[in-house]
Amino acid sequence: MPEFSALSSFLIASFALLVIPGPAVIFILNRSVADGRTIGLSAVAGIESGTLMHVLAATVGLSAVLATSEKAFNAVKYLGAFYLIFVGLRTLSRRPAAIDTATDSAAGSRGGSITSGRAFRQGFIINTLNPKVALFFLSFLPQFIDPEKSSNALQSLTLGLIFVACGFLTDSIYALVASSLRDSLLKGRALPFIQRFVAGAVFVLLGVLAASAKVS
Between 120 and 103, the higher pLDDT residue? 120
pLDDT in tens, 192-205: 777 778 878 887 88
Q: Which of 132, 127, 120, 157 is nearest to 212 (CA)?
A: 132
Q: For residue 106, what pLDDT is reported?
A: 39
Q: What mean pLDDT do residues 147-175 have? A: 87
92-100, long-range: CB within 8 Å, 24+ apart, which pairs?
Answer: 92/196, 92/197, 92/200, 92/201, 92/204, 93/200, 94/196, 95/192, 95/196, 96/34, 96/191, 96/192, 96/195, 96/196, 99/186, 99/191
Closest CA to 21 of 187, 200, 148, 209: 209
Give CA–CA dist 164/147, Å, rounded: 22
Q: Give the model's pLDDT for residue 108.
A: 42
The amino acid present at 130, given as its one-letter code, is: N
Contact 45, 51 (CB under 8 A): no
Looking at the predicted structure, is the pLDDT value of residue 215 above 80? no
Angle between helices 70-93 and 199-211 (to 10 degrees): 170
Which distant-in-sequence residues (6+ apart) come within 8 Å of 102 by Cβ?
A: none
Q: Which pLDDT band, with edges at 50, 70 and 90, does 75 fall under? A: confident
Which pTM value belongs to this model? 0.73
Q: Output the pLDDT for position 113.
A: 64
Question: What single letter denotes the amino acid at residue 211?
Answer: A
